[in-house]
Amino acid sequence: MIPVWGALVRVLHWSLVLTVAAAWLTRHSPGRWHEWLGYGTLAIVGARIAWGFLGSGHARFADFVRSFPATVRYARAVLARREARYLGHNPLGGWMVIALLSMLTLVGFTGWLYTTDRFWGVPWVEALHSTLSDVLFGFVALHILGVVFTSVRHRENLVAAMLHGRKPAP
Amino acid sequence: MSRKFPTATLVAVLSLAPVAMAGATGLATCDSGSPDTWQPQEKLTAALNEKGWQVRNVKVDGGCYEVYALDEKGERVEAYFHPVTLERVKTAAE
């Protein structure tokens, strides 16, 4: 087993799981819990984006964000059941990271917008925040499916790898 | 066991989503009978705007009118009103 995911990547990942789940559960709750969870989520997203540039190894965006043609090639290989195993994120997983971070930012931003005097109570802002969060949860579901699929395909537990950070050597 | 926990939790959370998305928020409930007997939303909006509020949106929640507005002091409020009496109803947050 070799180290793949550093402590910061893992802590930020599972912190996001917790704050997003808690934000979802408190979406109609009295008090300001939902807002603080939103700000917390944005802070974690900001830290992860910074680490994508400042970190090292598989934490870096440069390690896992690949070109459109390379990603299509990988997707075709998956369909043909002959895709390579990646230690870090595979090309589709890499774009999923970008999609999730983008959606979290948009959901957080529209949520904040709704708390400003200018946009408080404005129906389209609320609808946008809620639709974007539906899209986010759609991506979360695809992310989980991708993790399960890839774990089965390469006979490794990717959920465990995101917990202890290690994966079997290639 | 422990390694399956986060996935199982997320899946549980996701599958609960559609159930909880429908229906009332539970912030307040009004025993207000059939909507035929309610006063029109426009009347409530007009009365609130009259006293200096800036009503942004009125929804129905838990048999109450749920009003999003800036009040006369310019504070953001989410207030509940009984649709028959148009009296303010206290919410779980108040």
B31 pLDDT exceeds 80? yes
The three-class DSSP label of residue B29 is coil
Record: fold of A2-167: Fumarate Reductase Cytochrome B subunit (1.20.950)
The answer, yes or no, to whether residue B23 has pLDDT greater than 90, is no
B20 pLDDT more than 70 = no
B93/A31 Cβ within 8 A: yes
Question: What CA–CA distances, in Å, run from A135 to A88, A104, A125, A131, A141?
Answer: 25, 10, 15, 6, 10
Write out chain B residues lying below 8 Å of A17, CB-based. 6, 10
The full set of domain ranges for chain A reads: 2-167
pTM score = 0.85
Going by their DSSP bridges, the two strands B76-81 and A166-167 should be labelled as unpaired
Contact check, Cβ <8 Å, A126/B7:
no
Low-confidence ranges of chain A (pLDDT < 50): none
What pLDDT is stored for residue B21 in this prediction? 43
The helix/strand count (H/E) of chain A reads as: 7, 2
Closest-CA distance, A98 to chain B, in angstroms, reads 20
A137 to chain B, any CB pair closer than 8 A? The answer is yes
Nearest Cα residue in chain A from B92: A30
Which pLDDT belongs to residue B73?
Answer: 96
Report the residue of A15, A28, A156 to disrupt the B interface, i.e. the one with the largest count of B CBs within 10 Å.
A28
Looking at residue B24, what is its pLDDT? 73
Architecture, CATH, for domain B24-89: Roll (3.10)
Contacts of B91 in chain A (CB under 8 A): 30
Distant-in-sequence, close-in-space partners of A4: CB < 8 Å, separation ≥ 6: A57, A58, A87, A88, A161, A165, A166, A167
Say if the Cβ atoms of A159 and B7 lie within 8 Å. Answer: yes
> Are A24 and B13 within 8 A, CB to CB?
yes
Element (H, E) at B58: strand B54-61
Distance from CA of A109 to the nearest CA of B (A): 18
Residue B71: pLDDT above 90? yes
The residue ranges of every structural domain in chain B are 24-89
pLDDT digits 0-9 by tens, A7-56 = 999 999 999 999 999 999 999 887 789 999 999 999 999 999 999 999 99
CA-to-CA distance for A15 and A25, rounded, in angstroms? 15
**Euclidean distance between the first and the last CA atom of chain A, given in angstroms as a whole number:** 9
Q: What is the pLDDT of residue B25?
A: 80
